[in-house]
Amino acid sequence: MIRFDNVTKVYPGTQRPALDDVDVEILRGEFVFLVGASGSGKSTFLRLILKEEKPSSGRIHVLGQELDRISSRKVPFFRRSLGVVFQDFRLLPNKNVFENVAFTLRVIGKSRGYIHQAVPDTLKLVGLDGKGKRMPHELSGGEQQRVAIARAIVNKPQILLADEPTGNLDPVTSAGIMTLLERINAGGTTIVMATHEAGIVDQMKRRVIELSAGEVVRDESHGGYAVGHGEGDAEVVDAGAAADAGGEPAPVTAANPKVTAAVMEQAPPLYVEPEAQDEVTEAAAAVTAAATSAIPIQAEPDPEPDLPPAPIIPDAEDLVPEQLTLAERLGLRAPGGTPGDDEQEVGPTR
Ligand SMILES: Nc1ncnc2c1ncn2[C@@H]1O[C@H](COP(=O)(O)OP(=O)(O)OP(=O)(O)O)[C@@H](O)[C@H]1O
């Protein structure tokens, strides 16, 4: 699903690699925590998967495609299979909750009918049923992050990338957000999440990939935030890696261990299961489907015309991420727009 083959990334103007010879494979359906000290390369790892950055050497495969072979023109299509959630939510401040979530679908030209079905369904899943008309500034931080998650998953991506999604949230809300991410993962979405939250990682015991100075120093299937906090013995991939990179391998420590095990255990789920279908309803639906299958259905013209195709900019790959608009970072438009194209990116409004 995601494979890094000997990937090294050295940013222009720097000496030390942000990622150094990383060899990792992430399988479909996995929930992976990326941990490591600040500057160890976690965000770079995520940016490479998104094709926001190019590796200096090595190869990256995502969803069966080698990223180097995807042209700039096709990057937006590729990114439609990926959802992204950021620490600072990045909602559009002048649009209500419904429109923030619909944004993804409108940019890729989905019909009004589709949007009016998919957005409420997704808002319901993230526990925001009935809050579609609220503006971002009328929501708590946790609610804003749930809108951002709804926006990331409304297009049913196969992979969800989350860069410190609980970084701006209080402990209880952070734990609740994790219940939502677990639920999304249980639905089959592969999740890769960079975090400094020791409590979350220790409690969930999912796969942990630890980076130190750009190298993978630990890859544990049911790991904790630090060595020895998971189930069983940690597979320490390369304990001397950081030392080779120029310093002693400092064991990763929690920068802000705010989410305790008790908070994780007591966290109310921040999602709502779709209503279960009973057998009678399903049987009735099958009868209706069989009865109507012979009736030719006239395709209705889409009430909303398709949006114009994304602009194609030949050297857009060379743009740095900071210059990308929100739609571009979410992979909805080809790079090359101006920052005002989709209103501005914003951080938390509270
Ligand atoms: N655009 C850039 N240009 C130059 N150097 C960069 C750039 N982005 C990141 N770096 C450097 O690459 C290294 C890895 O950074 P990265 O942001 O991937 O770390 P991180 O583990 O995500 O850190 P944090 O936990 O603080 O978010 C750091 O030394 C950082 O200074």
Mean pLDDT across the stretch 157-182? Answer: 90
Class of domain 2-286+313-329: alpha beta
HSE value, Cβ hemisphere, 13 Å, CA-based, for 138: 10
Question: What mean pLDDT value characterizes the chain?
Answer: 79
Is residue 40 within 6 Å of ligand 1 at its C-beta?
yes
Task: Please tell me the distance between residue 296's alpha carbon and the centre of ligand 1 in angstroms.
Answer: 57
Least confident among 101-105, 143-147, 155-159, 259-263: 259-263
> For the segment 269-286, what is each residue's pLDDT rounded down to a tens digit?
777 776 655 555 556 555
**Atom 26 (ligand 1) nearest CA:** 38
| Ligand 1 pocket test target in 20, 40, 196 with most atoms within 8 Å of CB | 40
Helix (H) or strand (E) holding 85: strand 82-86
What per-residue confidence (pLDDT) applies to 260? 77
pTM, to two decimals: 0.77
Q: Who wins on pLDDT, 88 or 6?
A: 6
Q: How far apart are CA 28 and CA 39, in angstroms?
A: 27
- 328, pLDDT greater than 90: no
> For the segment 4-17, what is each residue's pLDDT rounded down to a tens digit?
999 999 999 999 99
Q: Who wins on pLDDT, 228 or 260?
A: 260
Is residue 292 within 6 Å of ligand 1 at its C-beta?
no
ipTM for the complex? Answer: 0.98
| pLDDT > 90 in the chain, percent | 52
Task: Please tell me the distance between residue 38's alpha carbon and the centre of ligand 1 in angstroms.
Answer: 8
Region for 29 from its dihedrals, namely left if φ exceeds 0, alpha if ψ lies in -120 to 50, beta otherwise: left
Q: How far apart are CA 79 and CA 73, in angstroms?
A: 11
- 60, pLDDT greater than 70: yes
- 312, pLDDT greater than 60: no
> For the segment 230-258, what is each residue's pLDDT rounded down to a tens digit?
665 555 555 444 444 444 444 555 544 57
Is residue 43 within 6 Å of ligand 1 at its C-beta?
yes
Q: How far apart are CA 82 and CA 159, in angstroms?
A: 5
**Atom 12 (ligand 1) nearest CA:** 18
What per-residue confidence (pLDDT) applies to 272? 73
Contacts of 37 (CB under 8 A, 6+ apart): 212, 250, 252, 253, 255
